[in-house]
Amino acid sequence: MSYVDEVIERVVKENPNEPEFHQAVKEVLDSLRPVVDANEKAFRRDALLERLVNPERQIKFRVPWIDDNGQVHVNTGYRVQFNSAIGPYKGGLRLHPSVNLGIIKFLGFEQIFKNSLTGLPIGGGKGGSDFDPKGKSDREIMAFCQSFMSELCKYIGADTDVPAGDIGTGAREIGYMFGQYKKLRGLFEGVLTGKGLSYSGSLARTEATGYGLLYIVEEMLKCHGKTIEGKTITVSGSGNVAIYAIEKAQQLGAKVVTCSDSTGWVYDPDGIDVAALKEIKEMKRQRLTEYKNYRPNAEYHEGKGVWNIKSDIALPCATQNELGLEDAKTLVANGVIAVAEGANMPTTAEATDYFQANGVFFLPGKAANAGGVATSALEMSQNSERLQWSFKKVDAKLKGIMVDLYHNIDEAAKRYGFEGNFVVGANIAGFEKVVDAMNAQGIV
């Protein structure tokens, strides 16, 4: 049995009931086969893959908090510090009822390679809780965030582990967590990113993941003689990533006709009204059913359906495994030319294979949504030098990072004879830097 297959088998056996983690490990290791095969003896001797797939540390803790009626609730908190070979652990905190250790491990594992691809000195980690922020009062959110940070603060710091936002963790939650960290540790330091602008956050961090997604798609199309201008785009999700992907796509001259949330989706043939979307989701925290009040010509549908709408480019920006094989077949039949993942692992392995087999440009999340964490690293730089850069400066750096990242993964794919396969390119390019750093630092 090959080394890769052996390690995949062990991961499945030793981490039962963690299907998302198995999926992520298989996806990454499968595409690393050319590099592993070429170095099998040394990698086996050094147990390199075993060290890569085992987190350096995983922390699980109790999070008790009191609701507005005096009832005590207990949630579970997680922080998985996966790999610090190239820098302090970095990765978001997800607050969603579906969160479990396997999901945090899948996200932390992917984060290692994504962070490496940014070219910045950040290691991989991820955390979160099965707490559901939906329907909670501000005071309840604060109570949860303070309790969560009371424990988490023992394990993080500006030079050790710097968490950020993710699903369910936006500016409000980061603010409450930062306040609690500062109170308990007595330190005003860059321990979290995605902070508010009045307390050392970075301009353009809010926009970064969505904008970065469009910058890399733009570069990829440009290199193939195409543009975003005039294209029809389908987007899923209506959170942080989706909103700013839609905004930048429209600035670049595309028409975005869909968005969705966890209960339904919108088709707006005239193009999504971003100002309305921001008001509904960012300010009022309402459901997408409200969208029709702003745009009477738009359609609202319960359930899933975004991928049935004809488009040139599809940008899944909600959550993992939201685009399956049947969706891929529909998109291809409708003439899609490019798919880029704004979310983490939104496309199933079968759907990814189908896109690639049918000549669709496919950009995996670890490359396509890396603009968020890259800008978080820029926020860390600003915090270290106690400065705040202009929006223009951060946005220009973000664009430069995404353009370089595209060429880096394109070149890595070509180097191993997989031209145009950006999944292979991203995994190999991300892996090479991490392995180099791990080798330099010995068996630790």
Q: Interface residues with ligand NDP (CB under 6 A)?
A: 165-168, 209, 237-242, 261-262, 317-319, 342-344, 369, 372
* Residue closer to ligand NDP (CB basis): 336 or 343: 343
CB 29 within 8 A of CB 49: yes
In whole angstroms, the minimum distance from the beta carbon of 371 to ligand NDP comes to 8
Which tokens belong to 383? 């915090």
Which phi and psi (to 5°) does residue 288 adopt?
Answer: -70, -15
In whole angstroms, the minimum distance from the beta carbon of 127 to ligand NDP comes to 12
User: Which candidate in 90, 105, 114, 126 is catalytic?
Assistant: 126
DSSP structure class, residue 259: E
* Residue closer to ligand NDP (CB basis): 39 or 330: 330
CA gap 130, 136 in Å, rounded: 14
In whole angstroms, the minimum distance from the beta carbon of 237 to ligand NDP comes to 4
* DSSP-based three-state secondary structure for 362: strand
* Residue closer to ligand NDP (CB basis): 88 or 168: 168
Sign of CA dihedral 42, 43, 45, 51: positive
In whole angstroms, the minimum distance from the beta carbon of 50 to ligand NDP comes to 26
CB 75 within 8 A of CB 65: yes
In whole angstroms, the minimum distance from the beta carbon of 234 to ligand NDP comes to 14
Closest C-alpha to 337, from 365, 367, 310: 310
Which tokens belong to 277? 């979307």
* Residue closer to ligand NDP (CB basis): 87 or 342: 342
CB 165 within 8 A of CB 95: no
Say whether 126 is catalytic: yes
* Residue closer to ligand NDP (CB basis): 87 or 168: 168
CA gap 272, 50 in Å, rounded: 46
* Residue closer to ligand NDP (CB basis): 22 or 366: 366
303: number of Cβ within 10 Å: 8
* Residue closer to ligand NDP (CB basis): 36 or 274: 274
CA gap 303, 155 in Å, rounded: 39
Burial degree of 108 (CB within 10 A; 0-12, 13-18, 19+): buried
Which tokens belong to 30? 């499968």
Which tokens belong to 435? 């392995």
In whole angstroms, the minimum distance from the beta carbon of 348 to ligand NDP comes to 14
In whole angstroms, the minimum distance from the beta carbon of 394 to ligand NDP comes to 14
Closest C-alpha to 30, from 320, 431, 415: 431
In whole angstroms, the minimum distance from the beta carbon of 41 to ligand NDP comes to 36
CA count, 13 A, side-chain hemisphere, 413:
18
CB 233 within 8 A of CB 254: yes
Which tokens belong to 414? 């070509």
Please give the angle made by the CA atoms of 83, 89 and 93, to the nearest 5 degrees.
115
Q: Which ranges of 71-122 does DSSP label H, i.e. alpha helix?
A: 101-117
Closest CB to ligand NDP: residue number:
239
Provide CB contacts within 8 A for 115, sequence distance 6+: 86, 87, 90, 91, 122, 123, 124, 370, 373, 377
Which tokens belong to 437? 């750093």
* Residue closer to ligand NDP (CB basis): 317 or 426: 317
Residues with catalytic roles: 126
